[in-house]
Amino acid sequence: MNQQKQSLSFTGLPAYKKLSDHHKQIKNVHMRRLFSLDPKRFEKFSIEHHGLLLDYSKNRISSETIALLCQLAKEAELEKWRERMFKGEKINNTEDRAVLHTALRNCSDKPVFVDGEDVMPKVRAVLEKMRIFSGELREARWKGFTGKPIKHVVNIGIGGSDLGPKMVYQALNPYHHKKIKLHFVSNVDATHINALLKKLNPETTLFIISSKTFTTQETLSNAHIARGWFLKAARDEKHISQHFVAVSTNKKAVSEFGIDTENMFEFWDWVGGRYSLWSAIGLSIMIGIGAENFNKLLQGAYDMDEHFQQAPLEENMPVILAMLGIWYNNFFKAESHAILPYDHFLRGLPMYLEQADMESNGKSVDRDGRRVDYSTGPIIWGTTGINGQHAFYQSLHQGTKMIPADFIVSIQAHFNFQKQHNIMFSNVLAQTEALMRGRTYEETYAYLTAAGEGPPNLSKRIHHMVFEGNHPTNTILIEKLSPRSLGMLIALYEHKIFVQGIVWNLNSFDQWGVELGKQLAKQILDKIYQPNTVDSHDASTNALINYYRDRVRLD
Ligand code: F6P
């Protein structure tokens, strides 16, 4: 019955029509005007939760916009779906799976049931196993085959089994263990792993093979290279157990690879790959920052889970971020969304969110399999903001495309470089202000004449130096980048993605779109080794396979 109701198309919801009408009224209103009309705009359009501040006042919205967007979320039955997710119902309908990354960070004593079983005891048991193992490594009690302590840990994984742990490890640099260094290998291009192995000593290196399925070609092929490199030095397979552990849902494949399942850290099919850093996939993080800090990361995410479940929609950070995204994506027809952390340690965040968001909501059929007639997940992209300023910001300011952006920065710097931090912070505000206000013809004229410019330079340049402004941004201020605040930030984006998926009526938790390429890659690999000329593909693919085969040694 409810499933039936959920099938109501996004564009058929009553609030969608109201928002379309409202959009006509507001689309040409400049944010300068909105700010001048309402000096309380910041108070009205900002939310603070446990030291995380979202200022969304520099958006092309009024109170009516927010009310209508929240109405749209309600009509899409967001609250009901949110409850279903947290309760462990199988909302991933194409894979018949629950979606319970929130159980991994459930810091309460409440049970979470999947198929009638409370999953919390096994979640806690794996966390405990991770704590013991990472403690042994960190305290140099876990020894390599020649009795030396481990100094380098290499996580081999790809996608969700790489991007999350790598991003978090980078982000929490000040919390790193002093003697153990983490490395992340994902690319099947062997130059990646080979360049790393050259620097490492097999006696002091431990590999974590991280793969939910343990069938991913890139990961297994890198794992075999690592195994070969290790055995060349260790000369006996019995030493593998001291240097290789696995994180997976697939016990059978782990043991077939030759890793003792005693050295396997388990997780479950109700943890999506791109939502898995909270699970045993976070083992590398725990080794890097310690169990106590890992728990704080979980605690931060839990804080956001609580906020997401309890705050009214109008004051709910993930809901507001999500609905603003929908406002631009579906009404202003913006095609992308930029993630701009002003923090070197957060440099992995844009790439992490590319997967989290685009693999979740880059879908063109709704959850019932019907082709959608509206735009879904935007292109997510970005880099550290300060570098972006000297690269692509020109287009943000004066290009023809609307590119909404999130500016993310911490208040407290980690190291004692306060002056540098002040420079960075002022750049964030300068950019968001410039994007919002722009610079009018009159202001540009005054600026040029004050700088002593007269004709002909003035008339030649003035039109190029006018900024229209009215570009929407969110500013996210983090009190200090710590395990807890990072946990909150990541969970904020996870829930934003969830909300958008619900409103667009998508299943955000499958990823069939990456399968076809994987299947074809296997077929093409076989063809590369075939003795005959390849003619079973299209003319372009045939010719390229044959061209390649003619030029490489295949033995
Ligand atoms: O390529 C898509 C994908 O299935 C991702 O969803 C996943 O994070 C990644 O591959 C890695 O998968 P696995 O952890 O099973 O190796």
**Would you state the structure tokens that stand for residue 393, as one six-digit string?**
């910001």
Helices (H), 142-202: 163-171, 190-197
Question: Span 7-31, mean pLDDT?
Answer: 94
75 contacts 91 by C-beta, under 8 angstroms? no
Residues in the chain: 555
pLDDT for residue 70: 98
pLDDT digits (tens, 9 = 90+) for 440-472: 999 999 999 999 999 898 999 999 999 999 999
**Which residue's CA is the nearest one to ligand 1's atom 1?**
514
pLDDT for residue 7: 57
pLDDT digits (tens, 9 = 90+) for 83-114: 999 999 999 999 999 999 999 999 999 999 99
| Cα 121 to ligand 1 centre (Å) | 26
**Would you state the structure tokens that stand for residue 395, as one six-digit string?**
């287009």
pLDDT digits (tens, 9 = 90+) for 526-547: 999 998 999 999 999 999 999 9
Question: Span 487-513, mean pLDDT?
Answer: 98
Long-range own/partner contacts, residues 22-26 (CB < 8 A, 24 or more apart) = 22/64, 22/65, 22/68, 23/331, 23/332, 26/60, 26/61, 26/62, 26/65
pLDDT for residue 416: 81
Residue 325 has pLDDT above 80, yes or no: yes
Residue 4 has pLDDT above 50, yes or no: no
Candidates 276, 253, 217; CA nearest to 517 is: 217
On the CB side of 238, how many CA atoms lie within 13 Å of its CA? 1
- State what percent of residues in the chain have pLDDT above 70: 99
Question: Span 245-268, mean pLDDT?
Answer: 95
Residue 51 has pLDDT above 90, yes or no: yes
> What confidence category does residue 2 fall into, taking pLDDT thresholds of 50, 70 and 90?
very low
pLDDT for residue 548: 96
Q: Which of 266, 359, 494, 495 is catalytic?
A: 359
228 contacts 244 by C-beta, under 8 angstroms? no
Residue 6: phi and psi, rounded to 5, are -60, -25
- State what percent of residues in the chain have pLDDT above 90: 96
For the Cβ of 165 lying below 6 angstroms from any atom of ligand 1, the answer is no
Residue that is written with structure tokens 């009224």 in the block: 25
**Would you state the structure tokens that stand for residue 271, as one six-digit string?**
């943890």
For the Cβ of 219 lying below 6 angstroms from any atom of ligand 1, the answer is yes
Q: Which of 390, 463, 464, 522 is catalytic?
A: 390
Kindly give the pairing relationship between strand 52-55 and strand 117-118. unpaired
For the Cβ of 279 lying below 6 angstroms from any atom of ligand 1, the answer is no
> What confidence category does residue 3 fall into, taking pLDDT thresholds of 50, 70 and 90?
very low
SS3 552: coil
Q: Is 395 exposed, middle or buried (0-12, 13-18, 19+ CB in 10 A)?
A: exposed
Candidates 521, 508, 510, 509; CA nearest to 216 is: 521
* Ligand 1 mutation pick, 95, 101, 161, 278, max ligand atoms within 8 A of CB: 161
pLDDT digits (tens, 9 = 90+) for 290-301: 999 999 999 999
Return mean pLDDT, the chain: 96
SS3 146: coil
| Cα 100 to ligand 1 centre (Å) | 17
Candidates 75, 69, 65; CA nearest to 9 is: 75
Query: Known catalytic residue: 518?
Result: yes
- Which stretch of 1-10, 51-60, 158-167 has the lowest confidence by average pLDDT? 1-10
pTM of model > 0.95: yes
Residue 156 has pLDDT above 90, yes or no: yes
166 contacts 323 by C-beta, under 8 angstroms? no
For the Cβ of 92 lying below 6 angstroms from any atom of ligand 1, the answer is no
| Cα 190 to ligand 1 centre (Å) | 19
Question: Span 346-364, mean pLDDT?
Answer: 98
Q: What is the DSSP string of 425-452?
A: HHHHHHHHHHHHH-B-HHHHHHHHHHTT
Q: What is the DSSP string of 226-280?
A: HHHHHHHHH--GGGHHHHEEEEES-HHHHHHHT--GGGEEE--TTS-GGG-TTTG
In ligand 1, the atom with minimum distance to the C-alpha of 160 is: 8
